[in-house]
Structure 1
Amino acid sequence: MSFTGPLEDQIAIRALIDSYTDAVFRRDANAWGATWADDAQWGLMGTQVRGREAIVALWLQAMSGFPFVAFFAQVGSIAIDGDRATGRVYTHEFLELADGSISHPIGLYNDIYARTADGWRFAERHFSILRETHKP
Structure 2
Amino acid sequence: MSRNDDLLEIEQLLAKYAVTMTRADTAGVVSVFTPDGSYSAFGEIYPLDQFPRLVEAAPKGLFLTGTALIDLDGDTATGTQPLCFIDHTQQDMRIGYYNDTYVRTTDGWRLKTRAMTFIRRNGEHNSGRPHAISFSSE
TM-score by length of 1: 0.81
Aligned: 1:87 with 2:79: yes
Q: Hey, what does 2:96 align to over in structure 1? A: 107
Q: How is 1:93-132 mapped onto 2 (pairs within 5 angstroms)?
A: 93-96=85-88, 100-131=89-120
* Equivalences for residues 1-136 of structure 1 within 5 A: 6-50=3-47, 52-62=48-58, 66=59, 68-96=60-88, 100-131=89-120
How far is 1:43 from its partner?
Answer: 0.7
What letter corresponds to residue 27 of structure 1 in structure 2?
A
SS at match of 1:107: strand
Unpaired runs of 5+ in structure 2?
122-138
Q: What is the deviation of 1:76?
A: 3.8
Q: TM-score, normalised by structure 2?
A: 0.79
> Given that residues 114 and 120 in structure 1 are in contact (C-alpha distance below 8 angstroms), is that contact kept between their aligned partners in structure 2?
yes
Higher strand share: 1
Cα distance in 1 for residues equivalent to 2:86 and 2:10: 24
Q: Supply the RMSD in Å over aligned alpha carbons.
A: 1.6
**Alpha-carbon separation, structure 2, partners of 1:31 and 1:102:** 24
**2:53 partner letter:** A
Q: Deviations over 1:71-129 (max 9, x none)?
A: 10012410111111000000001114xxx544211111000001111111110001011
Match for 1:122: what amino acid? L
Please state whether the residue corresponding to 1:75 is helix, strand or coil: coil
Structure 2 counterpart of 1:53, one-letter code: D
Number of residue pairs the alignment of both structures matches? 120
